[in-house]
Amino acid sequence: MVIVVGTENQIKVKAVEMTAKELFGEVEVLGINVSSGVSSQPRTDSETRKGARLRAERALQSIKVAQVGIGIEGGVHPTKNGLQNTVWVCVVERGSKEHWFANGVRFYLPKRIADAITSGKEMGQVLDEITKQKDTKKSLGMVGTVTKGKLDRASAYAAVIKLALGLLHGKDWEKDY
């Protein structure tokens, strides 16, 4: 099976690869740069979900040998209790019009970070400024930073990816009952 991920971010590609191999065995996972069709800092669940869907569809359209396309989009979502981190995953299968979505890695952002994002900055930019590192979104990311490395980004994303791929795998579950 060939799976294409709508990003060249190696953290996200690695998360798909480790999850897909666990679920399906031998797979080839490719990463390709495609547009999310949303802002560089998605600010709602709806926008983040749309970005994941468009990445999955565009990736699958770009690589003709792939059977499955996956889009992973991180964003934020405002709630009455504060700004939440969120990740949406979308899985599409060649020849199907269905989309399988999963959402997770939800937690409230520290006020310092939430305020900077609310003022218009992108999460990666804020993390780089605070940590004085470069491209934190391609390494620890938000989840790795706020957990001081106890949870890495690939592992956090893997659970959401596993659910989305599991929904694809179980698409015909009702036939068993």
| CATH number where 140 lies | 3.90.950.10
Q: Which helix (H) or strand (E) holds 5?
A: strand 2-5
Cα dihedral 150/49/16/104 (nearest 10): 30
132-138 long-range contacts, CB within 8 A, separation 24+: 137/9, 137/74, 138/9, 138/10, 138/11
Task: Give the chain's domain count.
Answer: 1
Report whether 151 contacts 144 (CB < 8 A): yes
pTM score: 0.94
pLDDT in tens, the chain (177 residues): 999 999 999 999 999 999 999 999 999 999 999 999 999 999 999 999 999 999 999 999 999 999 999 999 999 999 999 999 999 999 999 999 999 999 999 999 999 999 999 999 999 999 999 999 998 888 888 999 999 999 988 889 999 999 999 999 999 999 999
Q: Which helix (H) or strand (E) holds 48?
A: helix 45-62
Per the rule left: phi > 0, alpha: psi between -120 and 50, beta: everything else, 132 is left
Residues spanned by the domain of 93: 2-176
| DSSP character string of 68-136 | EEEEEEEEEEEETTEEEEEEEEEEEETT---EEEEEEEEEEPPHHHHHHHHTT--HHHHHHHHHT-S-G
